[in-house]
């Protein structure tokens, strides 16, 4: 099983405002919608995204809800041809100035209406604004790298080690450039993180849900929400830091 990253889920407080923001500023279109009774999931992405590209799932819980961002989740990153051009295009459209490219050579950051951070990175592949990676913070780099390698058969696609932190990028072996990667950020100072609830989960695709779940248990991943408890539509495990990972059959 390839365990291609299918989507990343984030929770939003105002569905109209968030949908308008992503469709107007990132040129996303709504790829699908699921009504869960007391919540609605919206699936978004660029019009011409790659067949193995990841989509963004925005979850709106009906009624008034406020979410805590936490710091265990970091950001999503989107691809553009020119970071500076793209950033100031967003500024002209009224997006708040957050971390301009002058402060971060080669990349920049904006925030969506709920405060989710979105990195803008320069790539020569993938549709404009398509999701390049999702960053999560880990408390033990060795354990986290071993987890993704053993559990999902991922391999390093890049790493950056600085004086105070390290970033490790992981993807399935043989993954297309256009697929989303997971970025593991490890800070050397021994800090701990708060998960919050504004971020939801990462999701990986599997060929057979029951077989994949058996592999999760064999590889000692957390038995969190098994297929039976989810009506055999999906299942959830957790990484060693508590980040939720959905398994879905495609």
Q: Which residues are catalytic?
A: 119
Contact status, residue 43 vs residue 193, Cβ threshold 8 Å: no
Whether the CB-CB separation of 119 and 76 falls below 8 Å is answered with: yes
Q: How many CA atoms lie within 13 A of 221 on its CB side?
A: 30
Which residue in 9, 74, 71 sits closest to 196, CA to CA? 71
DSSP 95: P
Please identify which residue in the block is written with the tokens 């008034």: 64
CA distance linking residue 188 with residue 191, whole number of Å: 8
DSSP for 189-233 reads T-------SSEEEEEEEES-HHHHHHHHHHTT----B-TGGGTTS
Q: C-alpha angle 203/182/67, rounded to 5°?
A: 65
């Amino acid at each position: 099983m390839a365990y291609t990253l299918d989507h990343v889920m984030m929770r939003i407080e105002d569905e109209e405002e968030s949908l308008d923001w992503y469709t107007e500023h990132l040129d996303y279109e709504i790829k699908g919608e699921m009504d869960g009774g007391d919540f609605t999931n919206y699936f978004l992405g660029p019009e011409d995204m790659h067949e193995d590209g990841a989509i963004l799932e925005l979850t709106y819980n009906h009624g008034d809800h406020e979410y805590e961002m936490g710091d265990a989740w970091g950001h999503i990153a989107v691809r553009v041809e020119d970071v500076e051009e793209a950033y100031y295009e967003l500024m002209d459209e009224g997006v708040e100035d957050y971390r301009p490219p002058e402060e971060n050579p080669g990349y920049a950051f904006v925030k969506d209406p709920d405060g989710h951070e979105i990195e803008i990175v320069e790539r020569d592949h993938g549709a404009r604004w398509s999701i390049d990676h999702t960053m999560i913070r880990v408390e033990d780099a060795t354990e986290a790298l071993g987890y993704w390698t053993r559990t999902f058969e991922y391999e390093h696609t890049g790493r950056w080690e600085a004086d105070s932190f390290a970033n490790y990028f992981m993807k399935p072996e043989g993954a297309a450039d256009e697929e989303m990667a997971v970025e593991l950020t490890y800070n050397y100072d021994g800090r701990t993180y708060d998960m919050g609830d504004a971020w939801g989960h990462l999701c990986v695709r599997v060929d057979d849900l029951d077989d994949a779940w058996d592999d999760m248990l064999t590889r000692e991943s957390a038995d969190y929400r098994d297929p039976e408890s989810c009506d055999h539509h999906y299942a959830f495990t957790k990484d060693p830091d508590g980040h939720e990972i959905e398994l879905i059959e495609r």
